[in-house]
Amino acid sequence: MSAARVVRGADGLRRCWWCGDDPLYLAYHDAEWGRPVRDEARLFEKICLEGFQSGLSWLTILRKRENFRQAFLGFDFRALARRNARFVGRLLGDAGIVRHRGKIESVLNNARRACEAADRRGSLADFLWDFAPPPNRRFGGVHPTSPASIAMSKELRRSGWSFVGPTTLHAFQQAVGMVNDHLPSCQFRSRCRR
Nearest partner of 36 among 177, 194, 132, judged by Cα: 177
- Note the pTM of the prediction, 2 decimals: 0.92
Would you tell me how many other CB atoms lie within 10 Å of the CB of residue 21? Answer: 10
By the 10 Å C-beta count (0-12 exposed, 13-18 middle, 19+ buried), 126 is classed as middle
d(CA 23, CA 95): 23
Task: Tell whether 23 and 102 lie within a shared domain.
Answer: no
Domain tally, the chain: 2
- Domain check: are 152 and 118 in the same one? yes
Same domain, 89 and 20: no
75-101: string of b/e by CB count within 10 Å (b at 16+)? bebbebbebeeebeeebeebeebbebe
For residue 99, the enclosing domain spans 35-178
Tens-digit pLDDT string for the chain (194 aa): 445 688 898 898 999 988 888 999 999 999 999 999 999 999 999 999 999 999 899 999 999 999 999 999 999 999 999 999 999 999 999 999 999 999 999 999 999 999 999 999 999 999 999 999 887 555 455 678 889 999 999 999 999 999 999 999 999 999 999 998 888 889 999 888 77
Same domain, 143 and 110: yes
Catalytic residues: 28, 50, 58
